[in-house]
């Protein structure tokens, strides 16, 4: 018996990209740091909130790359100028990747009280009805 995958199902034409998207999402390599929340703020908008305590605005970079929202944090390590008796807070880099669906745009980003908020908006696609004309085949 042949197992049908999403991209090979006979009624789902052109969905091969969705299968590649699922594979790419599984390979993002997020290690759990920093912790984050995703909330739906309205019918067509979302907010991603990352806990980035200790990061300044200039330590963070937010980009959209190939339909993915990529948030990077890079702190400068000034530990050679300080003497720690105990070091429980490390200057740690991170990269968090979120795959965006078609029609989802990144809005504004706000850093507030150690939390980075990134707003996303989903556009409503226009409803299109297309009529296809049927031609007669040429008789030989």
Give the per-residue pLDDT at 67: 86
Would you say how long the chain is, in residues? 140
pLDDT digits 0-9 by tens, 27-79: 655 678 899 999 999 999 999 999 999 899 999 999 999 889 999 999 877 77
Assess whether pLDDT exceeds 70 at residue 8: no
- Report, as an integer, the average pLDDT of 80-98: 86
CB 109 within 8 A of CB 98: no
Cα 16 from chain centroid (whole Å) = 19
Assess whether pLDDT exceeds 70 at residue 26: no
Q: Which domains does the chain have, with CATH numbers?
A: 1-30 (no CATH), 31-79+87-122 (2.60.40.790)
DSSP readout, the chain? -PPPPGGG-TT-TT-HHHHHHHHHHHTS---S-S-EEEEEEETTEEEEEEE-TT--GGGEEEEEETTEEEEEE-----GGGS--S---S----EEEEEEPPTTEEEEEEEEETTEEEEEEEEPPPPP---PPPPPPPPP-
**Greater confidence, 7 or 9?**
9
């Amino acid at each position: 018996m042949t197992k049908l995958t999403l991209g090979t199902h006979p009624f789902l034409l052109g969905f091969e990209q969705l299968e590649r998207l699922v594979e790419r999402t599984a390979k993002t390599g997020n290690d759990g740091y920093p912790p984050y929340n995703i909330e739906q703020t309205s019918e067509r908008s979302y907010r991603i909130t990352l806990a980035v305590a200790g990061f300044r605005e200039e330590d963070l970079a937010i980009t959209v790359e190939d339909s993915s929202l990529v948030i990077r944090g890079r702190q400068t390590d000034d530990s050679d100028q300080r003497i720690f008796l105990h070091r429980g807070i490390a200057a740690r880099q991170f990269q968090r990747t979120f795959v965006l669906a078609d029609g989802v745009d990144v809005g504004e980003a706000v850093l507030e009280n150690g939390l980075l908020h990134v707003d996303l908006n989903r556009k409503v696609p226009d409803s299109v009805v297309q009529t296809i004309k049927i031609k007669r085949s040429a008789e030989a």
